[in-house]
Homo-oligomer: A and B are copies of this chain.
């Protein structure tokens, strides 16, 4: 049986060139970059090189890159660290209803500590309105944190418009760009963001590799305190192999971004076309074109996404029912609620994310399988039976 991974959003394989770059740093150049003797030299140079590469992908300076262990850590660091550093200036933070839980949950914690949080709504495509952002800003606002791309529905926010509002009001702007980096151009100068979160394992770097890009002059208190690593901004022995891998992945992404994205969006558009041609009762979620090139989010009417996922899995097709971070919790997605999808459609959701292994021939095969599986499941749906009867009248 063919195995087709359409869940690259959950994990990407480490690129062979990335793994090759990492390998010498496990057992050969295993020194601690903080050591002043020769064993620290190669790791230290490798860190500096990786820092330049990650900075290069974002149009930032190397000293603006802080390596972390995950995007979640970077998001927690920004929100808690910014709140701690600037609470005397004000206690209001703005985000969006569809941001990731590693932004939303720290904000809930901050609310318990006396902060006020405004979560901006989104339209039915998942877009935040810059005008609503402007209206939400108060004299107490110290930070705006709005994601670059939604990892479920794929919608890309109008970052430059949002940061223009923030800049006009003098409020620092953070974006969780975890789902976006490596797939859409994200230059911190052009987009005007002050803080940006990225994760290597989203674009063929290793797990455990991530970074926060922080504009010169931005101040936050460290979340991980201890040693002097990352100029005192993030304590803990540097994960040299992971950082080297992230650097290489960033370099590859910079070189291949246009080609990679173009290839993926063509394959994605073909998958979408095949699915909509083969499977009745489909709904496209997210923005029709302002979305990630490798993302396709649909709802299949009259059936449960989890059942679809299980049956597709048996057919060797790996998809997600939504955000991986919550998929085992089987909760209905806060994102789909926020875009106003009715529960009957939200529960029939499938998220396809394409990647290096995706091929043109996958689309008709996946469409055929989904058509077969959806038809089977639909027949068992009382709602579908009711729909058929009403259709008969």
Query: Which A residues have a C-beta under 8 Å from some C-beta of B?
Result: 3, 5, 7, 10-16, 19, 22, 26-28, 30-32, 34-40, 69-73, 75-76, 100-103, 105-106, 108-109, 199, 201, 206-208, 221, 223-229, 235-242, 306, 309-310, 312-313, 318-321, 323-329
Instruction: For the complex, give the distance between the alpha carbons of A207 and B241 in Å.
Output: 8
**Contact present for B10 and A101 (CB under 8 Å):** no
* Chain B hits for A36, CB < 8 A: 306, 309-310, 313, 321, 327-328
* Chain B hits for A26, CB < 8 A: 13-14, 19, 22, 206
A34 touches which one: B10, B37, B318 (CB < 8 A)? B10
**Contact present for A226 and B75 (CB under 8 Å):** yes
* Chain B hits for A228, CB < 8 A: 325-326, 328-329
With both beta carbons as reference points, the residue of chain B lying nearest to A43 in the complex is identified as: B11
Copies of this protein in the complex = 2
How far in angstroms is the closest Cβ of chain B from A108?
8
* Chain B hits for A22, CB < 8 A: 26
Task: List 19 interface pairs A-B (beta carbons < 8 Å), by A numbering.
Answer: A7-B39, A10-B35, A11-B31, A11-B32, A16-B27, A36-B328, A70-B239, A72-B227, A76-B224, A102-B224, A105-B226, A106-B225, A201-B237, A207-B239, A207-B242, A223-B223, A226-B325, A237-B325, A239-B242
A35 touches which one: B11, B238, B240 (CB < 8 A)? B11
How far in angstroms is the closest Cβ of chain B from A77?
9
| Given A14-B26, A38-B318, 15 additional A-B pairs, CB 8 A | A11-B237, A14-B27, A36-B321, A39-B318, A69-B236, A70-B235, A70-B239, A103-B226, A106-B225, A199-B237, A207-B237, A207-B238, A223-B223, A227-B323, A239-B242
A69 touches which one: B31, B239, B323 (CB < 8 A)? B239
* Chain B hits for A12, CB < 8 A: 30
Instruction: For the complex, give the distance between the alpha carbons of A336 and B388 in Å.
Output: 82
3 closest residue pairs by CB, A with B: A102-B226, A227-B325, A69-B69
Instruction: For the complex, give the distance between the alpha carbons of A320 and B38 in Å.
Output: 11
A325 touches which one: B34, B108, B323 (CB < 8 A)? B34
* Chain B hits for A199, CB < 8 A: 237
**Contact present for A76 and B328 (CB under 8 Å):** no
With both beta carbons as reference points, the residue of chain B lying nearest to A104 in the complex is identified as: B226
With A37-B313, A318-B37 as known contacts, state yes or no: A101 contacts B14, CB within 8 Å.
no
**Contact present for A70 and B237 (CB under 8 Å):** yes
* Chain B hits for A28, CB < 8 A: 13
A102 touches which one: B14, B106, B235 (CB < 8 A)? B235
